[in-house]
Structure 1
Amino acid sequence: MVGDSDALLVDDLRPLRDQIRERVRAWIIDGRLEPGVPVRERELAERFGVSRLPVREAIRMLEVEGFVETRARRGAIVRGLHRRDVEQEFEVREVLEVLEARLAAKHLESAGARRLRWLVDESEHMLQTDDRARFAEVNAEFHDAISQAAGNHTLAAVLLPLAGRLQWNTAQNAHPERILAEHRRLADAIASNDPDRAGEEARVHLNSRRQALLGTLPDSESADSL
């Protein structure tokens, strides 16, 4: 198990499980933990200097987010992507995220508009500094801000399991400049309170992500890695 620093922040008031999840997720996103690599409770507990309980909880959360899967006789491992997974995921996401963008455009207030535009600017800065992991985090924050603006808790709960995969997919994508441009257009449409335009920009963005991600995957459904 590799990491830039094993120490958790002593002044971080968040639960240990959240700190561990964030650290391991960052390792997966930036490629230091590749698909198929075991994610072992005992090893992580020793590295972070904690009991196995918060590690176990963190692994469960990563599994819900789509970063980890549990296999018989192997335990928890970093999950890979397959073409069928991507196609099915985006079919669902198109329906839900177009609706979410339309709702956000209807309900967004000025503070929310400022945050969306700030997140786009922050993404641009991360792109300029070549911080892939942080770029993916800001991407997730951008979509979370849209979800908050939409104000539909049921819709947000349905989309939650897909949110983590979105972050990973973004980090793996070879066209961050395109993502940034699409986010800027989507943010402008939502901030303009234009549901039709927002829905269309969301659809264009998702179709672009779908094609870009499929282009990075092997044709074989039996492949175990990205």
Structure 2
Amino acid sequence: MLGNRLKNEIADLILSGRMRPGERLDEQSLASRFGVSRTPIREALQQLGTAGLVEIRPRRSARVRALSMAELESSFEALGEIEAICARYAAERMTQAERISLKLLIDQSRVASRQGDRVASRDLDARIHALLHTGAHNKALCSVANETRMRVELYSSAPYTLPNFDTQLHVPHGQHEQIVEAVLNRDPEAAHRLMIDHIGGSFLVVKGILEEASALATAGGDEPAGRHPYGHVAHLFGDTAVKALTGWTGQTAAGPFDPPKPSPDRSGQGGA
């Protein structure tokens, strides 16, 4: 359907970083870009608004939604629980063909991590999670998992943009390998626990990156962005998103998203 195709193509513009948080989404410009009328564009934006990627503003242009730290934490917390349920059900319900496909993906991920191929690793990261969603064999759960992951994907993929992260790809791969092993061994409890740990750890890394980006944005240029270890990330989230973080007090809810503060070296983690 045209609406779904447009929704996916606009979502890709956002998730790839070509459209940044806070950026206006002009219906006429998008209609011209995709060679369609404004009506299907408006419908696609409404769908993306429901998914949490777009902010719909009455009588004004929609814009890419910029999540505050509190919203981001809530989304990651929800994602962790949803993904963990998917992993639990996948361990119990995956077909043999799906298990073979999952084994193939984790083998490919191992090769990509050893080769320092961050592009392939990021793609395989997404494909492993997607297969766990479908392998849960619960359409309602799969839909919620996909929408929640879409909401945080721009942020959760940020570690893959870090300098020298190609030397750290073994860390997210190792976490995925443990989850996959639990699923293939039909151990739902281990799969659930490992996924919670994986998503929680990913949130800590993203939080750390955003704290650095926020500090960079408010420091007044003491160190040029080009030399700052997270300088390249500040523009990825856009001015609106970075400024939204400056009021964050650091208070977090109890639970898996209230672990000890991570060490300054935040490159050894990532890839929700």
Q: Determine if the TM-score, normalized by the shorter chain, exceeds 0.5.
A: yes
Q: Which amino acid aligns with 1:106?
A: E
Q: C-alpha separation between the residues in 2 aligned to 1:114 and 1:166?
A: 28
- Secondary structure of the corresponding residue to residue 151 of structure 1: coil
Identity score, percent: 28
2:89 aligned with 1:79, yes or no?
Answer: no
Map 1:7-156 onto structure 2 (within 5 A). Answer: 15-72=1-58, 74-121=60-107, 125=112, 128-131=116-119, 138-156=124-142
Q: How many Å apart are 1:208 and its aligned residue?
A: 1.0
Q: C-alpha separation between the residues in 2 aligned to 1:160 and 1:206?
A: 14
The equivalent residue for 1:225 is 241
Which consecutive unaligned segments of at least 5 residues does structure 1 have?
A: 1-14
4+ aligned runs moved over 4 Å, structure 1: 121-130, 134-138
Which consecutive unaligned segments of at least 5 residues does structure 2 have?
A: 216-238, 243-272
Q: C-alpha separation between the residues in 2 aligned to 1:194 and 1:64?
A: 34
2:208 aligned with 1:215, yes or no?
Answer: yes
Q: Which amino acid aligns with 2:135?
A: A
Q: Which amino acid aligns with 1:195?
A: P
Q: Rg larger in 1 or in 2?
A: 2
Q: How many Å apart are 1:121 and its aligned residue?
A: 4.8
Relative contact order higher in (CA < 8 Å, ≥ 6 apart) = 1
Q: C-alpha separation between the residues in 1 aligned to 2:46 and 2:81?
A: 27
* Matched pairs, number: 208
- Secondary structure of the corresponding residue to residue 182 of structure 1: helix
- Normalising by structure 2, report the TM-score: 0.66
Q: C-alpha separation between the residues in 2 aligned to 1:67 and 1:170?
A: 14
Equivalent of 2:196 in 195, 198, 203: 203
Q: C-alpha separation between the residues in 1 aligned to 2:6 and 2:144?
A: 24
- Normalising by structure 1, report the TM-score: 0.77
- Secondary structure of the corresponding residue to residue 77 of structure 1: strand
2:172 aligned with 1:186, yes or no?
Answer: no
Show CA shifts across 1:177-199 (max 9, x none): 23333222212211121112211
Q: How many Å apart are 1:60 and its aligned residue?
A: 2.0
